[in-house]
Amino acid sequence: MTASVTDATFADEVLGSDVPVLVDFWAEWCGPCHRIAPVLDELATEYEGRARIVKLDADNNPETARKYNIMAMPTLIVFRNGEPVSQVMGAHPKSKFRAQLDDALG
């Protein structure tokens, strides 16, 4: 299952992580966000120990969303060593998110 992060925990949970982190910038009102949620939960289980998947509610955490120029939801950014390394906007098949994670894992 995916974990949640906030403006207050983002630096520790994402930027300070020793494994790549896929951040799902989402909102409660976003239909595509809800459609990809089960896929992200599956990937969180598949990549356990190698990568993390977290969700950040962009409406309730505007500071982080603004910092990364989130203009549409869902936007998914993979961070490695505290830096964004890939970004995807919109709902995509599981294979697209898996490819993002695999690329980050090198």
Which residues does 30 contact at the CB level (< 8 Å), separation at least 6?
73, 74
Q: Assign residue 40 a region: left if phi > 0, alpha if psi is -120 to 50, beta otherwise?
A: alpha
36 is catalytic: no
Task: Pick the catalytic residue from 5, 21, 23, 33.
Answer: 33
Question: 21, 30, 58, 104: which is the annotated catalytic residue?
Answer: 30
CA dist 37 and 34 (Å) reads 5
Residue 33 known to be catalytic: yes
In sequence order, the 6+-apart residues with CB closer than 8 A to the CB of 28 are: 57, 59
- Catalytically active residues, by annotation: 30, 33
